[in-house]
Structures are given as structure tokens and as C-alpha cells.
């Protein structure tokens, strides 16, 4: 899959994973990487941006396998943003599919 295509949807995908349940960075990376190959270093700048924009917040949680992990939890603002991103993506996808099929708007 094209790197440029991935970049365009990763914020939405990361938010959707956090919306499902609170997660730590590596957990988010592993799940996304299962579906589309990405670099682990791709996730952390997105997470920092989401926190900076108050779309998610962080907290520390003890880990059985080492030091406490930083978990990410979606905020109310994040849920609203996720809904907007999904709607925009659906509209965009619909237009692209029409263009690929050579359909015109009537």
C-alpha cells in the first residue's frame, strides 16, 4: 500500500483504535501493522499530535513486563473529530470510486 495513502488515514485509524479501548503506543502499532505495514516510529508523532490537540489524553498504568506504560484515552473532542474524519473519508472514498468507474454526478 502506498505510503502517501497511509499517511492520509493514519490519524483516523489511530483514533479509531483508541476509541475502541484505551491503548499504549506499541499496542496501537502492532494492531495497525497487522493490516497495513507501517514503521513503529510512525505512530508516536501521531499520538503526540493527538494529545497536543486534546483529542486524546494519557495516563500511566503498571505493566507486568517492566516499567509503567503510557496509555492513551480518547476525549470527547477526539470522539467528535473521529466522527468527522470517518464521514470525510466516506465521502472522499465515494468520490474516488465514482471517478475510477468513470461515473459523473448528475
Residue range 13-56, pLDDT digits in tens: 999 999 999 999 999 999 999 998 898 899 999 999 999 999 99
CA 28 to chain CA centroid, nearest Å: 9
Q: Which residue has the cell 509503567?
A: 68
How many percent of the chain have pLDDT more than 70?
93
Domains plus CATH for the chain? 3-101 (1.10.10.10)
Which among 29, 30, 25 is positioned nearest to 56, based on CA atoms? Answer: 25
pTM beyond 0.95, yes or no: no
Rounded-to-integer distance, Cα 67 and Cα 64, Å:
8
Q: Which residue has the cell 489511530?
A: 14
The answer for 38, left when phi > 0, alpha when psi is -120 to 50, beta otherwise, is beta
Bridge partner residues of 71 (DSSP): 24, 59
Residue 69's contacts (CB-CB under 8 Å, 6 or more residues apart) are 24, 60, 61, 63
Average pLDDT over residues 78-98: 94
Average pLDDT over residues 91-105: 87
Amino acid at each position: 500500500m502506498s505510503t502517501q495513502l497511509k499517511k492520509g488515514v493514519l490519524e483516523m485509524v489511530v483514533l479509531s483504535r483508541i476509541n475502541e479501548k484505551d491503548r499504549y503506543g506499541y499496542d496501537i502499532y502492532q494492531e495497525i501493522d497487522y493490516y497495513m505495514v507501517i514503521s513503529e516510529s510512525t505512530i508516536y508523532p501521531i499520538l503526540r499530535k493527538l494529545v497536543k490537540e486534546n483529542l486524546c489524553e494519557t495516563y500511566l498504568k503498571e505493566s507486568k513486563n517492566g516499567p509503567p506504560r503510557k496509555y492513551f484515552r480518547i476525549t470527547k473532542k477526539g470522539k467528535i473529530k473521529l466522527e468527522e474524519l470517518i464521514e470525510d473519508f466516506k465521502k472522499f472514498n465515494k468520490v474516488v470510486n465514482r471517478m475510477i468507474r468513470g461515473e459523473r454526478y448528475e
